[in-house]
Structure 1
Amino acid sequence: MPLSEALGCRLAGSLTALVAVPGVDVSAMDGYAVAGRGPWRVVAQVLAGGEPYRKALEPGEAIEIATGAPVPVGAEAVMPWERASAVAGGSAAPGSGVAWVDGVAEAGRHIRRRGEDIAEGAAVLGADAVVTPVALGLAAALGHDTLLVRPWPRVAVLVTGDEVVDEGLPAPGRVRDAIGPFLPGLVEWAGGRVTDRTRLPDGPDALRAALGGPWPEHGRASREGAHWPERGRASQEGRRLPERGYASREGGRAAGADVVVVCGASSKGPADHLRAVLHDLGADVLIDGVAVRPGHPQLLARLPDGRLLVGLPGNPFAALAAALTLLAPILRELTGTPAVKETSALAGTVRAHARDTRLVPVRRSERGAAPVGHDRPGSLWGAALADALAVVPPGWGGERVELIELPLGG
């Protein structure tokens, strides 16, 4: 990636120096580069970025030099101008135009030798290092225009459901989409980018087409009824994402993504068509339900073209639980980002389930992780109050439990 797009990614290999730092012997001070003993006859002036002195300094010669300017062959030291004096009197400060200078010059002082800071070819950062703003500056200083990184996984979000609306107060029988708004932040927190979001009506045809399958002839009506937004590009802090691989309607709305997230349609009700569509497309279903509450009807599949598909339940808290335990680990694996490992005692009463693991919203405290309540599958209230989810195994008897980190701010 170009340096301008690599911030926050992890290196896919070592960052090595394409050039030495400094690239040549340079002056570390404003003053005079001298050879032999003084007094010295000033034979030239060299500024940083200016023409270097092409000759070798002879004993008794000096050049007026600026910090960062190349030191000529034969120079034994740089004498700071504060320690220099004009032989004929007056100031010996750089730019004064004196012909002779004298003073005390310590052998080898104030010259930075080529490669003294970083040798050419040296490995300065290892693979998996995060590309920070400082790392970008270092890479530029070492001659790099691009970096080999693990790119942000591109995530396409398909929101299904005739009952789901995107704005305003929902009419009776309708609900606001609460999953689509939290997914971009969660995806970014886990290392990815939402690059496309599409609303789909219920039914297999629109879902099949969005995943890249064909539209049947009898499906024209439902296709026209689907909401196909224009291909806008998500932005990150004002930066436009690169235009890469975005599919047309005919090619599938999610064709340019690395991971596809389907919100809803992952259960086994009459309006849940994801499994049938995946079967039609020849996908390999890797996970079909997890013994967890909330979030049981989650799904992971690999599409024939290699893309991963994550199916999230339609209930908001259930979808959040599945996203944290299935989608987020996938994105971290793709970017090489280790997950946070944490355990805690529970400071409060928790009812364990007889067969399934429970995910309970909690807040950390000195006494342990305290349940905050409001944890029904259809409500995000408890999760919004919490800073972690406690993993309570079936038949839990009071031992310490794992905590699953929530994105910053709950």
Structure 2
Amino acid sequence: MPWEQAYNTARDTPKPLPPEQTPVEAAAGLSLAAPILARTPAPAFDAAAMDGFAVAGPGPWTITGRILAGQPVACSALPAGTGVEIGTGAPAPVGADAVLPYENCHRAGSTVTGTIGTRTHIRRTGDDVRPGDVIVPAGRTVTATVAAAAVQAGVDDVFTHRPPTVTLFVTGDEVIACGTPGPGQVRDSFSGLVAAVTSRAGGILRACSYLRDDKALLQAALDDTDTDVIVVSGSSSAGAADHLHTVLNEQHATWHVNGVACRPGHPQALAALADGRWVISLPGNPYAGLTAALTLLEPLLRTLAGQPAGKLPTCLVTGTAKLTSGAVRIVPVRFTGAAAQILPGTGSAGLRAAAAADALAVLPIGWTNGAPAAILAVP
């Protein structure tokens, strides 16, 4: 499958997970399934925007009291020709026409003189938000600022999409989780990448397990996993130790992507089990697995998490790359002004170039030096 088609398939095939009601203070990082509508006005009352004197009618004004933030205000209206000393944020008394800042007036005993300017320095009820106003639309991610605006507008709960849950199986007799590798062994350098991509896409990595190259173990692992997405690293090709395709075919899985025309990362796949769980197959070589995770896993999770689909950014790319007929080449790049420069070292296994890169560039078929390419953010 062409790379762009594979990316779009992973992005467009799933549906967002169902919405659920979430306390606003616990919604940070989640995607809104419905707009946040204000329940109360903001400000909730007429409030002083400056320290000074709240006055009514023309001056001079006789000062009759003081109101500070957090104090109740008298129910009776402020008579014309009178005023009260007031602090910023305090409720303005009924009938107040303006707040005279200290620096714009003069007080002699209980009398204040000054001129009301073009600004009244009173924030009127609902100046910022009125009940029913949209604070943010559906599809937005709840940030700390979004949550604060919702609280200010009297919102306690919001509707968010449930974050997709992910299980990672790292397969291979040669893979060890920690320690010094023995002859023929390698350290797992990939689970952290999957965790980072999952988190960035709005998902939750629930578990990471290591499996030997055994068909029965892989079958049992898939059967016992109840997360929304199962990621299998390794076991993605057609070798004697690669069992995933056989297992999925025996389970009558639906293949949406089965091999992608890209280098590296060709043997990647996306399938759906009969019960709705998604399975993503990633190559075991770390750099190839990274490119595949950005091609299939990230767009799938973003959609499940309810994040709106968007086009990938593009950039002019300069340098040289080993191109393959009929396939895109995914290379690490570093931004240099308005362009991105290809970094050397683009094999399927090594991560050194990717670690030094600002992003990965997907060089289209027929790419030439200085032509544009889609950009993938490295985790």
Tell me, what secondary structure is at the counterpart of 1:183?
helix
Normalization by structure 2: what TM-score?
A: 0.81
Query: Which one is further off, 397-406 or 49-58?
Result: 397-406
Once the two structures are TM-superposed, the CA of residue 112 in structure 1 deviates from its matched residue by: 2.2
Letter in 1 for 2:130: A
- 2:98 pairs with 77, 95, 103, which one? 77
Q: Which residue of 2 aligns with 1:298?
A: 268
Letter in 2 for 1:187: T
- 2:295 pairs with 316, 321, 325, which one? 325
Aligned residues of 2:316 and 2:338 also touching (Cα < 8 A): no
Residues 1:4 and 1:209: Cα distance change in structure 2 (over 3 Å): farther
Instruction: Say if 2:172 is the partner of 1:161.
Output: yes
Q: Which residue of 2 aligns with 1:147?
A: 158
- 1:347 pairs with 290, 304, 319, which one? 319
Once the two structures are TM-superposed, the CA of residue 53 in structure 1 deviates from its matched residue by: 0.5
Separation in 1, partners of 2:112, 2:261:
84
Once the two structures are TM-superposed, the CA of residue 308 in structure 1 deviates from its matched residue by: 1.7
Aligned residues of 2:67 and 2:90 also touching (Cα < 8 A): yes
Matches within 5 A, 1:101-250: 101-104=111-114, 106=116, 109-211=120-222, 213=223
Query: Which one is further off, 196-205 or 106-115?
Result: 106-115
Once the two structures are TM-superposed, the CA of residue 338 in structure 1 deviates from its matched residue by: 2.8
The structure that is strand-richer by fraction is 2
Q: Which residue of 1 aligns with 2:357?
A: 386
Tell me, what secondary structure is at the counterpart of 1:181?
helix
Q: Which residue of 2 aligns with 1:62?
A: 83
- Aligned-pair RMSD on alpha carbons? 2.9
Residues 1:140 and 1:29: Cα distance change in structure 2 (over 3 Å): same
Residues 1:397 and 1:64: Cα distance change in structure 2 (over 3 Å): closer
Tell me, what secondary structure is at the counterpart of 1:22?
coil
Instruction: Say if 2:324 is the partner of 1:338.
Output: no
Once the two structures are TM-superposed, the CA of residue 369 in structure 1 deviates from its matched residue by: 4.6
Which portions of structure 1, spanning 4 or more consecutive aligned residues, are displaced by more than 6 angstroms?
none
Q: Which residue of 2 aligns with 1:262?
A: 232
Residues 1:4 and 1:37: Cα distance change in structure 2 (over 3 Å): closer
Q: Which residue of 1 aligns with 2:23?
A: 2
- 2:343 pairs with 372, 375, 380, which one? 372
Report 1 or 2 for greater relative contact order, CA contacts < 8 Å, sequence distance ≥ 6: 2
- 1:17 pairs with 34, 38, 57, which one? 38
Separation in 1, partners of 2:372, 2:48:
60
CA distances 1:40-67 after superposition (whole Å, capped 9, x unpaired): 5554443221222022233444334332
Q: Which has the larger radius of gyration?
A: 1
Tell me, what secondary structure is at the counterpart of 1:286?
strand
Separation in 2, partners of 1:401, 1:353:
17
Letter in 2 for 1:279: N
Once the two structures are TM-superposed, the CA of residue 362 in structure 1 deviates from its matched residue by: 3.6
Separation in 2, partners of 1:119, 1:56:
24
Residues 1:24 and 1:315: Cα distance change in structure 2 (over 3 Å): same
Q: Which residue of 1 aligns with 2:285?
A: 315
Residues 1:26 and 1:385: Cα distance change in structure 2 (over 3 Å): closer
Separation in 2, partners of 1:385, 1:278:
37
Tell me, what secondary structure is at the counterpart of 2:270?
strand
Normalization by structure 1: what TM-score?
A: 0.76
Residues 1:321 and 1:80: Cα distance change in structure 2 (over 3 Å): closer
Separation in 1, partners of 2:149, 2:197:
30
Letter in 2 for 1:299: A
Aligned residues of 2:31 and 2:139 also touching (Cα < 8 A): yes
Unaligned runs of 5+ in 2: 1-21
Residues 1:390 and 1:26: Cα distance change in structure 2 (over 3 Å): closer
Letter in 2 for 1:383: A
Once the two structures are TM-superposed, the CA of residue 261 in structure 1 deviates from its matched residue by: 0.9
Letter in 1 for 2:35: S
Separation in 1, partners of 2:206, 2:215:
23
Residues 1:113 and 1:354: Cα distance change in structure 2 (over 3 Å): closer
CA distances 1:158-214 after superposition (whole Å, capped 9, x unpaired): 112222101122111222112113222233334433232122232233323332x2x
Residues 1:32 and 1:368: Cα distance change in structure 2 (over 3 Å): closer
Separation in 2, partners of 1:35, 1:360:
69
Instruction: Say if 2:49 is the partner of 1:28.
Output: yes
Separation in 2, partners of 1:36, 1:387:
62
Query: Which one is further off, 182-191 or 387-396?
Result: 387-396
% identical equivalent positions: 41
Tell me, what secondary structure is at the counterpart of 1:33?
strand
Separation in 2, partners of 1:267, 1:298:
8
Q: Which residue of 1 aligns with 2:16?
A: none
